[in-house]
């Protein structure tokens, strides 16, 4: 699986936007970019995913660089409930198992 | 949206006994489910891929005779930790995908906290 690089931790203030970066310089053309988050003592939660174009959903936005070697997860207005570990994962679209391999992620702290 | 139910949410067992963890897809069929393990302050580590009607595929270093996986139906996969020891104490999480291959997110269970005493 292609590797991703994320900052270990980031801090934000409540109601401010948060930009979580992810580098994936070895991404291949068939890799989808997935983002998940994990709250303490819970299973991960799907946030968003994309291939080439920027994506928006009710939770967040995903901005993908033109060369696809990096992406940014954008939380438009952080709340205390957004405090979690955020994982950027490349999901190979070929093969038969389609497994997700987690890295260390970014621990997001949201200050009131 | 898709829901994956995991049971039990926590369990304490004595060393040497076996523990079974269930993972159910409630509103969709999952031909493939995934089992992860997470130690404190660490990331999720994929243990195995569970395939309905066939043998599971284990990741390198995971003992298949210790972590028995059964995926007998399209909505249920089970993980049995056999002869559990204190070092098996961990947070076990299952996952399944609802949607066409290569598209769509994965849904995770809420996890099972296993403590072996």
**β-bridge mates for residue B107, sequence order:** B96
Separation between Cα atoms, residue A102 and residue A89, nearest integer Å: 6
- Are A1 and A92 spatial neighbours (Cβ–Cβ below 8 Å)? yes
Interface probe for A, chosen from B10, B42, B44 (most Cβ of A below 10 Å), is B44
φ/ψ (deg, to 5) at B5: -105, 130
Tokens read off for A7: 């900052």
Q: Kindly report, residue by residue over B13-65, the tens digit of the pLDDT.
A: 999 999 999 999 998 888 889 999 999 999 999 999 988 888 899 999 999 99
Is A39 in CB contact (< 8 Å) with chain B? no
- pLDDT at residue A96 above 80? no
Mean pLDDT of chain A: 92
Separation between Cα atoms, residue A55 and residue A60, nearest integer Å: 8
| Residue A38 Cα, gap to closest chain B Cα (Å) | 10
Confidence of residue B102 (pLDDT cuts 50, 70, 90): very low
Of the candidates B49, B108, B110, the beta carbon closest to that of A97 is on B49
Look at B102 and A32 and tell me if their CB atoms are within 8 Å.
yes
Of the candidates B45, B103, B110, the beta carbon closest to that of A43 is on B110
Give the per-residue pLDDT at B56: 92
Q: Exposed, middle or buried by CB within 10 Å (0-12, 13-18, 19+), for A22?
A: buried
DSSP type of residue B103: S
- Are B61 and B85 spatial neighbours (Cβ–Cβ below 8 Å)? no
Separation between Cα atoms, residue B24 and residue A7, nearest integer Å: 34
Q: In chain B, which residues have their Cβ closer than 8 Å to the Cβ of A102?
A: 36, 43-46
Query: Is beta strand B45-51 parallel, antiparallel or unpaired with respect to B32-38?
Result: antiparallel
Chain-centre distance for alpha carbon A61:
10
Question: pLDDT over 90 for what percent of chain B?
Answer: 74
**β-bridge mates for residue B10, sequence order:** B113
Q: In chain A, which residues have their Cβ closer than 8 Å to the Cβ of B36?
A: 102
Tokens read off for A10: 């980031």
């Amino acid at each position: 699986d292609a590797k991703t690089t994320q900052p270990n931790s980031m801090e934000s203030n409540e109601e401010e936007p948060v930009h979580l970066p992810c580098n994936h310089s070895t991404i291949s053309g068939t890799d989808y970019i997935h983002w998940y988050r994990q709250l303490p003592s819970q299973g991960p939660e799907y946030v968003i995913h994309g291939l080439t174009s920027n994506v928006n959903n009710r939770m967040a936005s995903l901005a993908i660089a033109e060369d696809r070697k990096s992406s940014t997860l954008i939380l438009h207005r952080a709340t205390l409930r957004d405090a979690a570990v955020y994982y950027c994962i490349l999901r190979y679209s070929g093969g038969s198992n389609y497994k997700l391999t987690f890295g260390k992620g970014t621990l997001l702290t949201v200050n009131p | 949206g898709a829901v994956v139910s995991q049971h039990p949410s926590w369990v304490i067992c004595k060393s040497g006994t076996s523990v079974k963890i269930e993972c159910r897809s409630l509103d969709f069929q999952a031909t493939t489910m995934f089992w992860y393990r997470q130690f404190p302050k660490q990331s999720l580590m994929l243990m195995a891929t569970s395939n309905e009607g066939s043998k599971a595929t284990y990741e390198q270093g995971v003992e298949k005779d210790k972590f028995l996986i059964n995926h007998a139906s399209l909505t249920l996969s089970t993980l049995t930790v056999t002869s559990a020891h204190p070092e098996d104490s961990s947070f076990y999480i299952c996952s399944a995908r609802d949607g066409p291959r290569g598209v769509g997110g994965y849904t995770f269970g809420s996890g099972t906290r296993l403590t072996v005493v």
